[in-house]
Amino acid sequence: MLFNISKAGLALNSKRMTTQNTAILFMQSNHFKFPQRVSIWALWILLGLGLSAPFRGIAGNPDRRGQAGATELQIMPWARQAGWYGVNSANVRGLEAERLNVAGLALGGKTELYFSRTNWLVGSDIYMNAFGIAQRIDESSVMALSVMSVDMGTIDITTVNNPDGGLGTYKPTIANLGLSYAKSFSNRIHGGVTVRIVTEGTSDVNASGVAFDAGIQYITGPDDRIKFGISLRNVGTPISFSGDGLAARGVMQGSSVPLTLLQRSQTLEMPSLMNIGGSYDFYLDEVKSNRLTVAGNFTSNSFTNDQYGFGAEYAFGKMFAARAGYQFEDAGVDPEFTQNIYSGLSLGASVDAPFAGSNFGFDYAYRSSSPFGGTHLIGIRYGL
């Protein structure tokens, strides 16, 4: 019996050594390209997850509306992408990709700077500022750092005994900081990841968490006209509020001893979502100075209705571009049934001024909303 076990062990070890030697020889051969194979497998895995999402019943769940936290992560702060509702998850390029499909970051320039200002939901007196910088670190890799903050102005302090205020004001703090990395595995396959730190709070109550994004883009067709993209966004740790602002002094019934009572905050999940998009480029002349791009995107939301969008962008050389998009939900665009504040039409335009090997750009976008008077965005870009 012992002899048979030893013999089986020797056979197993021999088989393992043979397998390892074969793998080593295969890896050393000129036909093995590890990054490309890994990226292709990643593409198919993400594609499978994306196509199955609408049928799993866990996404687009209207019953979970209002149960997510850090919903500012769903807002597009970059003017150029907001101009067509961010339906270009398949062909977004450069720094702005970190908020839509981070894989597109790998296709940016050497250095990019972008500042954008948002007048969010005109009439709400809420503004947003976003700034980002991207830097190419080698021929195939790019890193980016971005920050977005929400300015809600000052709010009167009220209490049970002073419902009309008069006790001063406070100013909420809402911000997030993202670090992104993207790599071109080949001329056709690009991928990237983002780690984002989220903070919300006031002077005596706060919450923080970490969210992750990942995306991949695939380019094919004649002249690289066809593009596909899949991105997972805002997958991260739950958040909950804590601090002295949730504490209150009181006396329990039947006792005269004052106690400090701490109210516990409900734990909130990140507003995770998935984008699946495609685009096609039409060149209107032989020198390709006039381009028309059509794009479509499906967004599978975890805490609200799924969204569908399509749009088009016309570019005249590298000087001017105009774009428009349209977005709707499973329930259509009727405000009585929609759950997302953004639906309907979006418009945008960009003007670029190349100069001495660099480029200055100005972007504007408008997104319709219901209620309120829509959202206006302006952006200033600089790139090398």
Query: Is 142 a domain residue?
Result: yes
Which pLDDT score is estimated for 298? 96
On whether residue 20 sits in a domain, the answer given is no
Q: Which one is predicted more confidently, 101 or 48? A: 101
pLDDT of 26 above 90: no
What's the whole-number mean pLDDT along residues 243-250?
86
As for how many domains the chain has, the answer is 1
Decide if 354 is inside a domain.
yes
pTM for the whole thing?
0.82
Read off the CATH number of the domain in which 130 is found: 2.40.160.40
Amino acid identity of residue 80, one-letter, is R
Least confident of 129-143, 168-182, 243-257: 243-257
Q: When comparing pLDDT for 47 and 106, which is higher?
A: 106
pLDDT of residue 264: 86
Rounded Cα gap, residues 260 and 268, in angstroms: 25
User: Which pLDDT belongs to residue 116?
Assistant: 97
The average pLDDT across 148-165 equals 90
Which pLDDT value is given to residue 333?
61
- Residue pLDDT, tens place only, 348-368: 999 999 888 899 999 999 999
By mean pLDDT, which of 51-55, 207-211, 254-258, 345-349 is the weakest? 51-55
Q: Is the pLDDT assigned to residue 35 strictly greater than 60?
A: no
Query: Do the domain assignments include residue 21?
Result: no
Pairing relationship of beta strands 273-283 and 307-316 according to DSSP bridges = unpaired
Percent residues over pLDDT 90 in the chain: 63
CB 154 within 8 A of CB 169: yes
Of 44, 99, 86, 98, the C-alpha closest to 308 is: 86
The residue behind tokens 């507003």 is 271
Q: Is residue 88 part of a domain?
A: yes
Is 294 inside a domain boundary?
yes
Range of the domain at 310: 37-383
- Residue 84 falls inside a structural domain: yes
